[in-house]
Structure 1
Amino acid sequence: MNLRIGIIPLPAYCLTLVCLGFLLALGEISGDISVMIALLAVFGFTCAELGARIPGLRQIGGPVIVTTFLPSCLVYYKLLPNELVSSINNFWQSTNILYLFIASVVVGSILSMNRLTIVRGFVKIFLPLVAGSIAAALFGTLTGMAFGLSAHQTFFYIVIPIMAGGIGEGAIPLTLGYADILNLPQKQLFAQILPAVMLGNLTAIIFAGLLNQFGKRHPCYTGNGRLHINDDGTLLKKNNNAVASVENIAAAGMIAITLYIMGILVHKLIGLPAPVTMFFLAVLAKLTYAVSPKLEDGAHTVYHFFSTTVTYPLLFAIGVTITPWNDLLAAFNLANIVTIFVTVLTLTTVGFFVGRWVGLYPIEGAIINACHSGMGGIGDVAILTSANRLQLMPFAQMATRLGGALTITVAIGLLGLTA
């Protein structure tokens, strides 16, 4: 029982795997939440273990890469049973579990964070993010031109989509704006930019894994999850002498859900994305001392539970449902690969050096900038997991959501002027 696959004791893992195999053979895999938890946990942690044991790959985020992209490949080549795929798709669509995860991690980490770190961190990540975005746009466009692509094609269809904030809140509104200006079908434009978003996210995952390895070899460049050099302690402030009660853990979880529901309401009223509203409300609650220390301890446990137990099952579900393998393959030509690589590399490198200049730990600054090239909340989860720094999720959400919104606004404005 002390041997585990992920968090699952080995005997329980073997029994669950055998039972799932029989259920699949009998055609009895259902959308029952207990069955789905077992299925996603077994397959998610299996993929993570596989990625962690492949030499070379494990140093660049192997567990995340394998857990996200292997199921996508298996679905594309029809190597997973159709009943299993359809059950996971139905579960994903009906539960929207990604936003429960993001709410728990973002609110949990913010409420258990040092207040001074919040204020300093959000102010100081702004300059590296802006400088990185401008430099990435410039060098990415020049790289595409060097490989024979036009400046217009490179900038609007490769570089900008990488930094637009993902798919739902990035690529879709971006292509809707493009469609209005160019009088072209939105679906055509979406299909054109999606490969860049996918490959940009994969590149950021690899860079995050490399940064994590670099930090292990050169500890002077990293805070191991602490963002600010002058922070007086750990990023997540936890009272180690007290154990959070079950009631306080549950209450903190309900606070996270309440803030997300408030975000949904604000989105319906004024169109501001729900995660952004939730993020600001959590920061406001923290800075105004609206949450008691006992609930802050509960929030820390909520964050730790979701980051430890839910991440890899969630990534497996993401790979099955919303990571199209054919779109990733579509980006595999030399001009696209090099352009995307240079764009993400520039964004990350500027985050490293400018972050150090403004007083951030360089590796943490680089990772936050890398999240600006991810696939929204999905990308943040994958990138931060690859870097082993999920506690940076609030700052990653700011880089992704707000940075993406500003990128879309600027891009649509420039396209309107040049069209």
Structure 2
Amino acid sequence: MTLNENKGFQIMGISLQMFAVLTVVVLGATYMGVLPKGMIGAFPLMMIVGAVLNEVGNRLPIVKDYLGGGAIIVIFGSAALVTYGVLPEASKEIMTNFMKGEGFLSFYIAALITGSILGMDRKLLISAAIRYLPVILGGVIAALGLTGIIGMIMGYGAKEAILYVAIPIMGGGMGAGAVPLSQIFGQVLNVDPVQIMSKMVPALALGNATAIVVAGLLDRVGKKKTSLSGNGKLMKSQKAIKEEAREEMKLDYKLMGIGILLSTTFFVWGKILAKFIPIHSYALMIISVALVKVLGIMPEKYEKGAFQWFRFVMTNFTPALLVGIGVAYTDLNAVINSLSVIYVVLVFTTVIGATIGSAFIGHLLGFYPIEASITGGLCMANMGGTGDVAVLSASKRMELMPFAQISSRIGGAFMLILATSLLSILL
């Protein structure tokens, strides 16, 4: 007797009966304490939890229509599973180590950056890159200005709202943002950086959560107001550019292997450059891949390989990665503990300011407002690389990853310089 794969409900393209068998095996190993360490144990657990939570999120009426659907449920659902002890502590350690120690997040982002840039039209890449930085700047100015005004009106204080809420949220995540920011603040204010971090982390966590929710709402707005959205296309001029039909090309397993090598080598190259150039390795990787594309020095065969690998990773690994983000990078207690009315309003104001400012400048420069606000606004307001994946997943625009990373990395570096300047002005 075999399971009927042609009828009934499916998860990940697998029949419910077969998926149930796989789930019993993996969860059984998890609770028995015999789940293997490393990717061999993390992968099946993250894929199964991600698939189930993603299915739930995509079917909950309000969540699927207004809050980002599966992405937000996967992130916060998996965070809740480990925070409240539903999943054993050992499984949390396995997944966290896979994400951080074994570099799954970097592996995923490298595939998306390399494949999406090499898969872009050359003329489009050149045109978009020149106009993109003003979009980021528009979001930053609106976010800081609006938050300062609301902070003053609500009695929180304009300076405090800008320094301890808006700047951490717009600062490029934890490692490239809050950590160096706390060092800068601590040195200038002669205060222990740990105290500064305790003020910044709740803003960072709640801002990231708000950005994910707003991303889902923007996707909904884009479906209602089609003139505001490019459905994943950043620039209005893309309509005039003949898109390469890469998704229709025949799948080639050897080309996918080339794509793996290219994406990981570009990532390593970024690390090498970062030894000599004081810029984040992701930013240097983006610049390198973009230069290779603009100069036309990569044979089209290899570009296709990188693009096919990017599509494979995005299609199959995204829910699993979102589980890792929830488990390893989302502090649910920090989010819950920061839920005072004034604080929530200020965080919301920062994210909305970033969204509106980047949309407005983007519109003036020929970008679709929805895509400009997602990449130039929300991907500045989220928690770096992990936040980029979550925001783009919630808005269903994963192909915008290169621009999201420009916001997180180059934009984050700009925020460090801006914060240093503002400290000398405001204090």
On whether the aligned pair clears a TM of 0.5, the verdict is yes
| Cα separation, 1, equivalents of 2:227 and 2:385 | 29
1:231 to partner: Cα distance: 1.5
Map 1:26-45 onto structure 2 (within 5 A).
26-45=32-51
Secondary structure of residue in 1 paired with 2:391: helix
Residue of structure 2 aligned with 1:404, choices 409, 412, 426: 412
54-63 vs 388-397, which moves further: 54-63
Question: Could you give the per-residue CA deviations for residues 309-334 of structure 1, whole angstroms, max 9, x where no partner exists?
Answer: 11110110111112111111122111
Secondary structure of residue in 1 paired with 2:230: coil
Residue of structure 2 aligned with 1:64, choices 61, 71, 90: 71
**Percent sequence identity over aligned pairs:** 31
Map 1:376-415 onto structure 2 (within 5 A).
376-415=384-423
1:236 to partner: Cα distance: 6.7
Residue of structure 2 aligned with 1:10, choices 16, 28, 52: 16
Map 1:48-87 onto structure 2 (within 5 A).
48-59=54-65, 60-87=67-94
Question: Could you give the per-residue CA deviations for residues 262-306 of structure 1, whole angstroms, max 9, x where no partner exists?
Answer: 111222333321111110000011011121112222222111111
Amino acid aligned to 2:400? L
| Cα separation, 2, equivalents of 1:219 and 1:364 | 12
Map 1:211-222 onto structure 2 (within 5 A).
211-222=218-229
1:113 is aligned to 2:83: no
- Would the aligned equivalents of 1:41 and 1:312 in 2 still touch at CA under 8 Å? yes
373-382 vs 349-358, which moves further: 349-358
- Would the aligned equivalents of 1:71 and 1:319 in 2 still touch at CA under 8 Å? yes
1:129 is aligned to 2:136: yes
| Cα separation, 2, equivalents of 1:223 and 1:237 | 17
1:145 is aligned to 2:125: no
Q: Quick one: structure 1 residues 418 and 262, their matched pair in 2 at CA, closer, same or farther if it must change by over 3 Å?
A: same
Question: Could you give the per-residue CA deviations for residues 200-228 of structure 1, whole angstroms, max 9, x where no partner exists?
Answer: 11111111111111111222221111111
405-414 vs 379-388, which moves further: 405-414
Secondary structure of residue in 1 paired with 2:237: coil
Instruction: Tell me the TM-score normalised to structure 1 length.
Output: 0.95
Amino acid aligned to 1:34? I
- Would the aligned equivalents of 2:75 and 2:323 in 1 still touch at CA under 8 Å? yes
- Would the aligned equivalents of 1:52 and 1:63 in 2 still touch at CA under 8 Å? yes
1:244 to partner: Cα distance: 4.3
Residue 334 of structure 2 aligns with which residue?
A: 327
1:80 to partner: Cα distance: 1.9
| Cα separation, 1, equivalents of 2:33 and 2:57 | 29
- Would the aligned equivalents of 2:255 and 2:308 in 1 still touch at CA under 8 Å? no
Map 1:302-381 onto structure 2 (within 5 A).
302-368=309-375, 369-381=377-389
- Would the aligned equivalents of 1:7 and 1:309 in 2 still touch at CA under 8 Å? no
Amino acid aligned to 2:298? V
| Cα separation, 2, equivalents of 1:96 and 1:7 | 27
1:243 is aligned to 2:232: no
| Cα separation, 2, equivalents of 1:324 and 1:292 | 44
Residue 52 of structure 2 aligns with which residue?
A: 46
1:189 is aligned to 2:196: yes
Residue of structure 2 aligned with 1:170, choices 157, 163, 177: 177
| Cα separation, 1, equivalents of 2:136 and 2:309 | 29
Residue 257 of structure 1 aligns with which residue?
A: 264
- Would the aligned equivalents of 1:112 and 1:236 in 2 still touch at CA under 8 Å? no
Q: Quick one: structure 1 residues 244 and 297, their matched pair in 2 at CA, closer, same or farther if it must change by over 3 Å?
A: farther
Question: Could you give the per-residue CA deviations for residues 38-95 of structure 1, whole angstroms, max 9, x where no partner exists?
Answer: 1110001111111112121112203111111122223222222122222222323331
| Cα separation, 1, equivalents of 2:153 and 2:75 | 32
197-206 vs 230-239, which moves further: 230-239
1:32 to partner: Cα distance: 4.3
| Cα separation, 1, equivalents of 2:266 and 2:318 | 21
Amino acid aligned to 1:10? L
Q: Quick one: structure 1 residues 235 and 27, their matched pair in 2 at CA, closer, same or farther if it must change by over 3 Å?
A: farther
- Would the aligned equivalents of 2:137 and 2:358 in 1 still touch at CA under 8 Å? no
Secondary structure of residue in 1 paired with 2:101: helix
Amino acid aligned to 1:134? I
- Would the aligned equivalents of 2:38 and 2:94 in 1 still touch at CA under 8 Å? no
| Cα separation, 2, equivalents of 1:105 and 1:164 | 22
Amino acid aligned to 1:14? A
Unaligned runs of 5+ in 1: none
- Would the aligned equivalents of 1:72 and 1:323 in 2 still touch at CA under 8 Å? yes
Secondary structure of residue in 1 paired with 2:100: helix
Secondary structure of residue in 2 paired with 1:269: coil
